[in-house]
Chain A
Amino acid sequence: MALVGDNGAGKSTLIKCVAGINSIDDGQILFEGNPVTIHGPKDAAKLGIEVVYQDLALCDNLDVVQNMFLGREIRDPIFRLREAPMEQRTAETLKSLSVTTIRSVRQAVATLSGGQRQSVAVARAVLWNNRVVFLDEPTAALGVAQTRQVLDLVKRLAEQRLAVVLVSHNLVDVFEVANRITVLRLGRNVGVYEKDKTNEREIVEAITFGAPAPEEVVA
């Protein structure tokens, strides 16, 4: 599924609420049909919700393994880190996503390229047994080849039977990977469109003017 909308439509805010970063003022979150309360990132993680933020939320000074397991380190009962299993699982996850350009998982993230950093952020989200992964503008800062890599990565996530919510400005990307498209405008849900039954023009109109029925626009 894709979530689209103009600047200020509330896409990132919505994601932050679901991820437990911002608290919600009103309304409720339904997860698999049941109302849930999310007070912090840990609650969201427990439900199987993972978010890849637009700014990636990586610690530059830590290496790939340390970033992948940040906040959920494998440790023994007296808080000692167990590096070996963490390093193994990092390598496996990167391999399963066909990320081959990272030379060493013990490299500091500061030394990686933009696309590699994006890959690490995505891999972190799929490291855990998740149900749904939110990707906030994953291609906004990337070049052509790197965008290609990330979109392929998104497709592979879907193949691994994860629900993927892609937040994007870029309708070409959206139409390539999404099955359903939800349009937000000024904080409100304008409508949900099936990819096969809509086109870019209809989505652009929904983003800019809200969701008038097509005949109203003509009139």
Chain B
Amino acid sequence: MDETLTKRSAVRNVKKGKKQPLTWSVIKSQRQLIYMSVPLLAYIILFAYVPVWGWTMAFQNYKPARDFAQQEWVGFKHFKFLFSDDSFWRVLRNTLGMSMINLVLGFVTAIILALLLNEIKKVFLKRTVQTISYLPHFLSWIIVTGIVATSLASDGIVNDILMKLHIIKEPILWLSEGKYFWGVVGASHVWKEVGWNTIIYLAAIASIDPALYEAAEIDGASRYRKMMHVTIPGIKATIVILLIMSVGHILEAGFEVQYLLGNGLVVDWSETIDIFVLKYGIAQGNYSLATAGGIFKTVVSVTMLLIANWTAKRLGEERLL
């Protein structure tokens, strides 16, 4: 009994962020927590820190068959190639563009859908909508792009509907115009992920204290006002945390969807960093260049993450670090 009490108080102290001297008794009282963190620590060391050693490849002319000692060191050659290539800036723009679209659309649609679902009082209807909307999450991109390509074909469902509604006269070749490509990618992402993304918001909404709603009701708040002043502030912390994490993935605009839907006509708008790295790094057997591309992405990701976190802190919001 005593032991559990001390453990709980220790935990609480840590959470409050008060500095506490690290003593054996603290360690002993938290030993379950320490044991629990061992597997995760092992996982992180094994899969996050050990591979960083591979970064040395970016500064070599890496040849797979050779030992580390036999590799030829070339300094920043691969980075120079990367940054001096015209197409690199183009693929960077595409990556950022599509990433921003995915980020904004992903957040806005998921939050709106979660809020709407939350307002549905019929459990059966709510569950049905939720299930149907998150099913596409379990399809792989190769299947999704197949569906997208078929739907957007000149005799596909999208053109059929638009023509039946007399919005367009002739079928639009969606996939042959660069200007549509980002939109197509954004829409495919929303279709695939929106249901899945709502789950976490619905969970956050469920944890809001019902007393707040009751209080709002007594004050005469309408449904809409309750949504604006109780639900949204209630899930704000979740939104901010997820946003910070997503910003860290800003250079992960995806690979499969652009690779599989792209073609010669839209190549200026469809190629992302990942495709560039595949083409000029891995496809050339130039693993060093591929690594250099990877390092660039990591550095940008970490920087963006820190900026987002710092901004959140300045705005007095919940933050990650």
- The answer to whether A binds B is no
